[in-house]
Chain A
């Protein structure tokens, strides 16, 4: 347990930003705080860094309670959402700032900065100012600057939010690799679940200042433990009259079901896989999504979404199709229950 938060509460006026937050992070792990905007994830990060004091609770780093330590003494590197590079300093001076404050000798500073410039692939940019850099380059400078004084812990606030989509994908992989190469315990904040799932070793889902679920990306994805987590992860959509779907019965404890497109297979009527468990539906809309198409299908009055590979025969709007639903999550205010299609269970088939 390298970083630990115990019973953290934080209010801004009457707004509860953190509501009894407790979690711990193992040394060397890359953890993602995932939640919608306004959920309080950045506040958690800022409290770990010491930029915001918690109203109550303890922040513990490496076994020492750091609540009263000023930000500069916590050994924390921080990458801001908009990078907050020192705009009147060159790339070199930005990265060297922390070392200069520590009054390290010039030779050491030069070596360390050079090392980081190579690590982040910024060679040749030492003399540039922040406004002469692209978004991706700024992020690398911010990253190098945060790492320069050898912090114990690296915190990143929405590290990819200000970067365009294509570069973002590359940077994600780069950041994950680089962090594992450096071996530093890291926490990053994101509202983008793809990002969290792809980059993090462990995800903590935050909503309304509370922790909803903590687990590995695949745990979070496959078995959400709270209704919020079930709704938030994946392309989830909610259905209230789920008993109209073939193979599912009404459970009075659960007023709603959460489905994801990947729980559903839509086939042309002449190519059904399991005719007994499949239900007729009418295609209402087809959306081209680049690498696949998304279908909106009306099944017995229930609107569902499903994906279809572009290699399969094209399905048209208004066409009658067969829909097979493998599973869904039943949710109420507190619980989540995974229910498999009862007809499929009877047939003893293999499903995801």
Chain B
């Protein structure tokens, strides 16, 4: 009886907490966005600057996810399949972005590539702009989302071990064949899961991007930054309208994530059998 009461209380607490902390704010965002009707909503999201911000956000996400997927594959491969000195240190280093505040990540790039940075003269000589331009935003996003893919893959590849790769190598299979035929089928759902998490984070990244962006409207504004500007200028409805597009993307990602997770679990269970 008492156990049942405890169970009910715990579940209820969780549900309430989620309702107050997550569902209510999201609901508010969407209702607020439509407060002045569909017309205002659409004009806010079809606004020239909003569209440019969306484009930049998507561009950033594509670059970031591509780079971090490749890096994540290399990192987890080297950490799980090879023995080398400093392996522990490498795995710890990869997790740094999780521990560091994104603002600091942004500042790092200002300090390196900005006007006061040591790389500035070199960049200027070649007329390359990094800070206050798209490259800076992409770099900052890469930094912040670096661990997602490699973390997913490392645990997965660790559980697989290297026997199957060794078996394939004994038959004379080359590295790429081994990866394609043996490793990839095992990690594909985990890889997708990591990619999705990475995209979600890259889409919504604010802190690091805010520092390196310079807030040039129509040039270096990503969607989250655009929302902030609208909000600060008291265009509340527009701010919430643009926010709601981010929410919509997030919901799509959530569905994809669950799908990937489901497939991943299914394959893991198949392994156990």
A residues touching B (Cβ–Cβ < 8 Å)?
49-51, 70-73, 76-78, 80, 82, 84-89, 97-98, 101-102, 129, 131-132, 145, 149
- A-side contacts of B172, CB under 8 Å: 70-73, 98, 101-102
Interface flag for B273 (CB, 8 Å) = yes
DSSP class of B's interface residues: helix, strand, loop or mixed?
helix
The 7 A-B residue pairs with the shortest CB-CB distance, nearest first, are A72-B172, A84-B163, A88-B185, A98-B171, A84-B167, A101-B173, A71-B170
- Sample (16) of A-B pairs whose CB atoms are under 8 Å apart: A70-B172, A72-B171, A78-B167, A80-B167, A82-B163, A84-B166, A86-B164, A87-B186, A88-B185, A101-B177, A102-B171, A102-B172, A131-B270, A131-B273, A145-B167, A149-B171
- Interface digits, B154-172 against A, CB 8 Å rule (1 contact, 0 not)? 0000000001101111111
**For residue A72, which residue of chain B has the nearest CB?**
B172
What CA separation (Å) do A76 and B170 show in the bound complex?
Answer: 7
What CA separation (Å) do A76 and B172 show in the bound complex?
Answer: 10
B166–A86 CB distance below 8 A: no
- Interchain CB contact (< 8 A) of A97 among B168, B186, B271, B273: B168
Interface flag for B181 (CB, 8 Å) = yes
- A-side contacts of B177, CB under 8 Å: 101
Interface flag for B216 (CB, 8 Å) = no
Give A42 Cβ to nearest chain B Cβ, in Å.
12
| Most interface-central of B168, B170, B172, B273 (chain A CB within 10 A) | B170
**For residue A94, which residue of chain B has the nearest CB?**
B167
- A-side contacts of B170, CB under 8 Å: 49-51, 71-72, 76-78
Interface flag for B182 (CB, 8 Å) = yes
| Most interface-central of B171, B177, B181 (chain A CB within 10 A) | B171
- B-side contacts of A85, CB under 8 Å: 164, 167
Give A86 Cβ to nearest chain B Cβ, in Å.
6
- B-side contacts of A78, CB under 8 Å: 166-167, 170
What CA separation (Å) do A112 and B35 show in the bound complex?
Answer: 72
- B-side contacts of A149, CB under 8 Å: 171
B169–A72 CB distance below 8 A: yes
Give A188 Cβ to nearest chain B Cβ, in Å.
16
- B-side contacts of A51, CB under 8 Å: 166, 169-170
- A-side contacts of B271, CB under 8 Å: 87, 131
**For residue A151, which residue of chain B has the nearest CB?**
B170
- B-side contacts of A50, CB under 8 Å: 170
**For residue B188, which residue of chain A has the nearest CB?**
A88
A86–B182 CB distance below 8 A: yes
A71–B169 CB distance below 8 A: yes
What CA separation (Å) do A132 and B271 show in the bound complex?
Answer: 10
What CA separation (Å) do A71 and B270 show in the bound complex?
Answer: 30
What CA separation (Å) do A101 and B170 show in the bound complex?
Answer: 11
- Interface digits, B184-203 against A, CB 8 Å rule (1 contact, 0 not)? 01100000000000000000
- Interchain CB contact (< 8 A) of B167 among A70, A86, A88, A102: A86
Give A329 Cβ to nearest chain B Cβ, in Å.
40
A97–B171 CB distance below 8 A: yes
**For residue B272, which residue of chain A has the nearest CB?**
A131
- B-side contacts of A129, CB under 8 Å: 270
A101–B171 CB distance below 8 A: yes
- A-side contacts of B168, CB under 8 Å: 86, 97, 101
B163–A72 CB distance below 8 A: no
B173–A80 CB distance below 8 A: no
**For residue A89, which residue of chain B has the nearest CB?**
B181
Give B269 Cβ to nearest chain A Cβ, in Å.
9
What CA separation (Å) do A149 and B167 show in the bound complex?
Answer: 13
**For residue B160, which residue of chain A has the nearest CB?**
A87
**Given A101-B177, A131-B270, A131-B271: A84 in contact with B164 (beta carbons within 8 A):** yes
- A-side contacts of B169, CB under 8 Å: 51, 70-72
What CA separation (Å) do A82 and B166 show in the bound complex?
Answer: 13
What CA separation (Å) do A67 and B172 show in the bound complex?
Answer: 16
- Interface digits, B138-180 against A, CB 8 Å rule (1 contact, 0 not)? 0000000000000000000000000110111111110001000
- A-side contacts of B270, CB under 8 Å: 129, 131
What CA separation (Å) do A98 and B171 show in the bound complex?
Answer: 5
- B-side contacts of A80, CB under 8 Å: 163, 166-167
**For residue A84, which residue of chain B has the nearest CB?**
B163
What CA separation (Å) do A71 and B163 show in the bound complex?
Answer: 13
- Interchain CB contact (< 8 A) of B181 among A49, A76, A86, A145: A86
Give B187 Cβ to nearest chain A Cβ, in Å.
11
| Extra contacts besides A70-B169, A86-B168, A98-B172 (16): CB < 8 Å | A49-B170, A72-B169, A77-B170, A78-B167, A80-B163, A80-B166, A84-B163, A84-B167, A85-B167, A87-B271, A97-B168, A101-B172, A101-B173, A101-B177, A132-B273, A149-B171
**For residue B184, which residue of chain A has the nearest CB?**
A88
A72–B164 CB distance below 8 A: no
A87–B171 CB distance below 8 A: no
What CA separation (Å) do A131 and B173 show in the bound complex?
Answer: 23
**Given A88-B186, A131-B271: A72 in contact with B167 (beta carbons within 8 A):** no
**For residue A81, which residue of chain B has the nearest CB?**
B163
- B-side contacts of A77, CB under 8 Å: 170
Give B268 Cβ to nearest chain A Cβ, in Å.
11
Give A53 Cβ to nearest chain B Cβ, in Å.
13
- B-side contacts of A97, CB under 8 Å: 168, 171, 173, 181
- B-side contacts of A98, CB under 8 Å: 171-172
